[in-house]
Amino acid sequence: MYPSQSHEIYSFLPAVVRHTQPMGWFVEYYVLDTSTGKMVRRRNRIQKLVKRFRTVAEKKLAAQHIADSLNAKLRGGWSPLHQSEDSRLYTPLPALREKFLDAKKAEGCRSSTLTQYGSVTSLFLRWCEDYGFADRQSGTFLRPAAVRYMDYCADQHNRHRSYNNTLKVMRSFFQWAVEHCYAQENPFASIRTMKKEPKLRILVTPEARAKVTDYYSHHRPAMVAVCHLVYSSAIRPAEIRKIQIKHVHIDQHYITIPADNAKNHHERCASLTPQLVALLAPVIQQAASPELFLFGKNEQLAPDKEPANKDYFQKSWDRMRRATGLPKEMQLYSLRDTGLTDLLHAGIDPLTVRQHADHSSLAMTDIYTSHFDPSVNNAIYTQAPRF
């Protein structure tokens, strides 16, 4: 006899593992139907999950783990009478990852985004294998386990960006699971991001730019054009390697950055200076096909079917910086910050600079142009009124 209205203090009877010949393996438990005051029996068939294990001992252990997870939910106040159960909640994490990646691919995610999703979730599954979470299902991986994983990531990553990127992907992963009924909560949703470190970049002075130009003119002429594109056109290095001949409009003095290639997924037009037009015009006119990449895999300003290597521009800059004695804080991306700052100093209005930089707001432009500028010190020293 199970409790009725006179025993309403019982909201459930714990889940237990059962095995019968006709039904196979299942979990049985009772929950209180508040509308009638009676206990209602519920059975969750887990035969398909358990049969993946070979020995009886392994089957019992897996089944008991499912029962324990279900009891944890019942103790927390969950009831299948108030929220219908779904077999998707018991999807193994590796299978969930495959479904997630397939869905994102079908949605048309960029290849770089898919690669990041795949890499981060692969590392997550490896951690699950190593730390005793390999048999967890999608609906039973809860916040305590998520906190343990992010603590592990904090120990592994020595930079906030790696940690925060991992957290961002894991939030997306489980948010998708919640939206598609593979989980009832996002265990990573309330975990805070790591505080950002200040950017290790300083402006590239005219003297430093002269050294850069002199070095590249003798050792790697193609990088002269790359530096001009970063400084004058505010095109990010990752966007430069994806520029094709068809994107360059010499007569109209601009380069189209397609949404698929842009950092923020918005198409824009990057302006060209007379110097850049002079550098690029001969290359564009002699290109055999508009589909060729402006900077080919031969790492020259010579169109090719394959783009330059992903890390080539940065590695080339690092070699140049060491050879010329420039400080580590003068990075290739620093040229973009310097170009935007110089535009403001030249009297270009902030709104135009924001549009040129492809920033979402003027506040973002202000962040990217707030680096230490030696010319400010010189101006104050020589021009400021005396006390």
pLDDT (average), residues 302-312: 86
Helices (H), the chain: 47-50, 56-75, 93-106, 111-130, 143-156, 160-179, 206-219, 222-232, 237-240, 274-286, 312-324, 334-345, 350-357, 362-368, 374-383
Backbone angles phi, psi at 127, to 5 degrees: -65, -40
Per-residue model confidence (pLDDT) at position 123:
95
CA distance 199 to 178: 35
Residue 21: CB partners within 8 Å, gap ≥ 6?
none
In this model, does residue 379 exceed pLDDT 70? no
pLDDT (average), residues 69-97: 77
* CA triple 22-24-28, angle to 5 deg: 105
Comparing 189-203, 220-234, 329-343, which segment has the lowest mean pLDDT? 189-203
Of the candidates 88, 107, 98, 108, the residue with the CA atom closest to the CA atom of residue 44: 88
Neighbours of 346 (CB within 10 A): 8
In this model, does residue 184 exceed pLDDT 60? yes
Residue with the bigger pLDDT between 244 and 109: it is 244
pLDDT (average), residues 267-288: 89
Of the candidates 225, 205, 216, the residue with the CA atom closest to the CA atom of residue 324: 216
pLDDT (average), residues 102-131: 92
Q: Parse the chain into domains and list their residue ranges.
A: 5-84, 93-179, 206-340
CA distance 222 to 237: 13
Most distant CA atoms of the chain, gap in Å: 97
Per-residue model confidence (pLDDT) at position 368:
60
CA distance 27 to 59: 13
CA gyration radius for the chain? 30
Neighbours of 48 (CB within 10 A): 11
Q: How confident is the model at residue 106 (pLDDT cuts 50, 70, 90)?
A: very high
In this model, does residue 84 exceed pLDDT 60? no
Superfamily of domain 206-340: Intergrase catalytic core (1.10.443.10)
CA distance 1 to 222: 84
Cα dihedral 82→88→90→96 (10° resolution) = -140
Per-residue model confidence (pLDDT) at position 128:
93
Task: Report if pTM > 0.85.
Answer: no
Residues 263, 274 contacting (CB under 8 angstroms): no
Per-residue model confidence (pLDDT) at position 175:
96
**Judging by DSSP bridges, how do beta strands 38-45 and 24-33 pair with one another?**
antiparallel
Q: At what angle do helices 143-156 and 111-130 cross, to 10 degrees?
A: 100
Comparing 73-77, 85-89, 109-113, 202-206, which segment has the lowest mean pLDDT? 85-89
pLDDT in tens, 5-50: 333 346 789 999 999 888 899 999 998 876 677 888 999 998 888 8
pLDDT (average), residues 98-112: 91
Residue 322: CB partners within 8 Å, gap ≥ 6?
none
User: Architecture of 93-179 per CATH?
Assistant: Orthogonal Bundle (1.10)
Sign of CA dihedral 78, 80, 86, 88: positive
Residue type, 360: S
The per-residue pLDDT of the chain, averaged, comes to 85
Sign of CA dihedral 321, 322, 325, 331: positive
Q: How confident is the model at residue 371 (pLDDT cuts 50, 70, 90)?
A: low
Paired residues of 25 in beta bridges: 19
Q: How confident is the model at residue 380 (pLDDT cuts 50, 70, 90)?
A: very low
Per-residue model confidence (pLDDT) at position 155:
87
Q: How confident is the model at residue 374 (pLDDT cuts 50, 70, 90)?
A: low
Comparing 8-12, 16-20, 56-60, 104-108, which segment has the lowest mean pLDDT? 8-12
Per-residue model confidence (pLDDT) at position 136:
80
* CA triple 43-49-53, angle to 5 deg: 130
Q: Copy the structure tokens of residue 2.
A: 């199970």
**Percentage of residues of the chain with pLDDT beyond 90:** 44
Per-residue model confidence (pLDDT) at position 207:
94
Surface-to-core class of residue 353, CB atoms within 10 Å of its CB (0-12 exposed, 13-18 middle, 19+ buried) = buried
